[in-house]
Amino acid sequence: MTNHKNPDSALNQPVPMELSEIRDGINQVDYELIDLLRRRRELSLNVARNKELTDNILRDQNREQELLAKLIKLGKDSGLEANYVMKLFHAIIDDSLTIQRDYFQNKINPEVDLNKQRKISILGGNGSYSFFAAQQFFTSKPEKNIFLGCDNFEEVIRTVEDGEAEYAVLPIENTTSGGINEVYDLLLNTSLSIVGEEKFQVQHCLIGKAGTKLEEITSILTHPEAKRQCSHYIAHKLNTKIDLQESTAHAADMVSNSQTTVSDKNSCMAAIASEETAKLFGLEVLEKNIANQKENWTRFVIASAKPGKASLKLPCKTSLVLSTGQKPGSLAEALLLFRDQEITLTKLESRPILGKPWEQMFYLDLEGNISDPRVKSTLEELTRLCRFVKVMGCYPVKSLAPTRLTPNQLAHSQANVDKPLVTQHTSKPSARKSYHLASREHNPHDTIIEVKGVKLGGDQFTVISGPCSVESFDQIMACAKHASEHGSTILRGGCFKPRTSPYSFQGLEYEGLDYIVQAGETYGMPIITEVMNTKDVQRIALQADMLQIGARNMQNFSLLKAVGKINKPVMLKRGLMSSLDELLNAAEYILSQGNLQVFLCERGIRTFETATRNTLDLSAIPILKQKTHLPVIVDPSHAVGQRDLVIPMAKAAKAVGAHGIMIEFHPNPEKALSDGPQALRFEQFAQLMRDLYPSIS
């Protein structure tokens, strides 16, 4: 091939061949380029296999800089501009990194079958931005992809939770309009894990039927996020109605079928969507680039029911959500942990916590792998400082910044030497307790749980009181009033009752929950009630301030995991025949899911003694306080089962150092629908509170 060092002089040369011959020559070169790119891909895969056996990580930017400098110099010698060579090889290097990334991810996640049909849940179906982002992410074996279109984000998540789809693709933030709050709120309460991300360039257009004139448009259909991103353009459409749809695909479909779906045949409709969407629905682009910002990108997360693993060879991101205490500097104290470990935070987003006015939940993205010792230790420190910590996922970053050369590097190439990564070897960790997060070794300071201004733990002695069961609106209101007037700060009442006999009163269920919520609001008391079923956890948590896991469910591990994923305090009762270590391991199930607001309850255990309902193990209190930082309370009502014995045992619980007690009382114990013999009468409860708090008259 002739090397034209002076391209301009080549323009004056006679044409050596016919145009058809020239095109044949170009085709041949293109075929050769395709073959060369294929061979380069094979070599990139071999690089990954080599790195698998060494300490080398995915990307060596020094090597990339050296390569680019040499290629640019070679290009200049051949009459090629540096920018042309750089853009070309940025794409090639990015492809090489993608191949190596996929190799490492497939190795660490062997259970993911790439040959299996993939069902992917998206908002809006074919033609939506979620559809194009999903196509871009799932490029491997695209013929295996089946897309399930949904009308809203909640449905996108539900289809994966229910097993109808394997993956959910959700937009989470945009460079123009910021975070998508609805998605953040849904991710907090879902069991799905983030396994990947995709960044998609959004290019909004105004699209309509062929022949549509801009001045004739009476309504523009689009998704709320697209409306926000094109707000400047829309502001000039003073006489045009904006009609919000579930997705941009829905909007395009409505315009495409406007003759049959719009009652006003004279109306002229258009939609805001992409150029690709217009083609799918047989529409024309009426105006291009109508977004507020030219560089308009949306970041999508890919979520799955099965948590993925991220290779330590790859640049990774970890997403988590946390809530801190309400003391001054609590957020700053948490963020300093990342600074001290030199971990970069790429995102910090706050969202209000439902049911807790003026309290915030924080969403963070950090650069790092959850398996990295620095990240792991930082997250462990967070569990000491925060009320709630949930890791939403760890996954490879989608796009890496292209390697840039300095002017000096453009002029001079350096030696092409691959430098092995120097790894830091950490000492073998010492053996940990099976209930590590609950242990004193993990957190030497007492955990203090605070809800609606009421504190439990530390030097506080808290009384939780109320009836065994919520029996009626009037009954729970009377109990709440009495409890509040005599110094009790947390209202209890069972709405779902686990009973030994199937014929006993099982509770008023959600009707009772509505009653106790209203009673708590009326008398300014946080409420606690028992949850028995995993399917009820989210719904009850929306109304109750604290959840109770009863003795019979202490080792219901599915239920423990479920309450571990909510941001509400949980009281865990000791099982009927459980050791203290078993109790602490049960608490660990909750803590390990991210909910660090757990307190324990000693309620008596079964022994050979039958003089009382159970044997109240008061020795458990000082032992538990040595073993764990979690608050420990006592339930003397269920322990002894006789109201005349409840009061002395309640006083004894305070004497041995319990952080509080839970007492049952009832307006008319003889007519109580559950556990009447152990319920104190109103005057007995009042006397107990005077004995426990002499200052209360």
Q: What is the mean pLDDT of residues 548-570?
A: 96
Q: Are 78 and 3 in contact (CB under 8 A)?
A: yes
pLDDT score recorded for residue 13? 60
10 Å CB burial of residue 695 (0-12, 13-18, 19+) is exposed
| Torsion (CA) 594, 620, 611, 469 in degrees, nearest 10 | -30
The 3-state DSSP class for residue 111 equals: coil
Phi, psi (5° rounding) for residue 660? 170, 180
Helix (H) or strand (E) holding 495: none
Comparing 223 with 65, the larger pLDDT belongs to: 223
Give the chain's count of helices (H) and strands (E): 24, 25
Q: Is the pLDDT of residue 660 over 90?
A: yes
pLDDT, tens only, 444-472: 999 999 998 899 999 989 999 999 999 99
Q: What is the mean pLDDT of residues 559-579?
A: 96
Q: Is the pLDDT of residue 543 over 80?
A: yes
pLDDT score recorded for residue 417? 35
Whether this prediction's pTM lies above 0.85 is answered by no
686 band by pLDDT with thresholds 50, 70 and 90: very high
Token pair recorded at residue 331: 């957020």
pLDDT score recorded for residue 360? 87
Q: Are 339 and 332 in contact (CB under 8 A)?
A: no
Report long-range pairs for 453-461 (Cβ below 8 Å, ≥24 apart): 454/489, 454/490, 454/525, 454/526, 456/490, 456/569, 456/599, 456/631, 456/633, 456/659, 456/660, 457/599, 457/630, 457/631, 457/659, 458/631, 458/659, 460/659, 460/660, 461/654, 461/658, 461/659, 461/660, 461/692
pLDDT, tens only, 628-650: 999 999 999 999 999 999 999 99
How, if at all, do strands 241-244 and 356-367 pair? unpaired
Q: Is the pLDDT of residue 255 over 60?
A: yes
The phi-psi region of residue 666 (left if phi > 0; otherwise alpha if psi is between -120 and 50; otherwise beta) is beta
| Torsion (CA) 128, 133, 138, 141 in degrees, nearest 10 | 60
Which region among 62-76, 262-276, 562-576, 675-689 has the lowest average model confidence (pLDDT)?
A: 262-276
Helix (H) or strand (E) holding 159: helix 153-161
How large a percentage of the chain has pLDDT more than 90? 65
CB atoms within 10 A of CB 485: 12
* 604: DSSP letter: -
Which region among 11-20, 574-583, 650-659 has the lowest average model confidence (pLDDT)?
A: 11-20
Q: Which residues contact 184 (CB under 8 A, 6 or more apart)?
A: 172, 349, 351, 363
Query: Which residues face 303 on adjacent strands?
Result: 168, 194
pLDDT score recorded for residue 465? 97
Which region among 61-65, 451-455, 534-538 has the lowest average model confidence (pLDDT)?
A: 61-65
Q: Is the pLDDT of residue 430 over 70?
A: no
CB atoms within 10 A of CB 404: 13
Comparing 296 with 575, the larger pLDDT belongs to: 575
Q: Are 255 and 209 in contact (CB under 8 A)?
A: yes
How, if at all, do strands 386-396 and 316-324 pair? antiparallel
Q: Are 208 and 255 in contact (CB under 8 A)?
A: yes
Q: Are 685 and 466 in contact (CB under 8 A)?
A: no
pLDDT score recorded for residue 416? 39
694 band by pLDDT with thresholds 50, 70 and 90: confident
Q: Is the pLDDT of residue 60 over 90?
A: no
Query: Which residues face 650 on adjacent strands?
Result: none
CA-based nearest residue to 248, from 304, 182, 296, 203: 203
CA pair distance 645, 688, nearest whole angstrom: 12
Q: Are 95 and 45 in contact (CB under 8 A)?
A: no
Q: Are 319 and 194 in contact (CB under 8 A)?
A: yes
Q: Is the pLDDT of residue 410 over 80?
A: no
Q: Are 507 and 470 in contact (CB under 8 A)?
A: yes
pLDDT score recorded for residue 189? 87
Which region among 23-27, 48-52, 314-318, 525-529 has the lowest average model confidence (pLDDT)?
A: 48-52
Any idea which residue has 């400098």 for tokens?
A: 69
Q: Are 526 and 545 in contact (CB under 8 A)?
A: yes
Q: Are 456 and 638 in contact (CB under 8 A)?
A: no
CA-based nearest residue to 89, from 322, 313, 403, 406: 403
pLDDT score recorded for residue 103? 86
| Torsion (CA) 382, 383, 389, 395 in degrees, nearest 10 | 60
Q: Is the pLDDT of residue 570 over 80?
A: yes
DSSP string, 234-276: HHT-TT-EEEE-SSHHHHHHHHHTHHHH-S-TT--EEEEE-HH
Q: Which residues are catalytic?
A: 298, 300
pLDDT, tens only, 484-499: 988 899 999 999 988 7
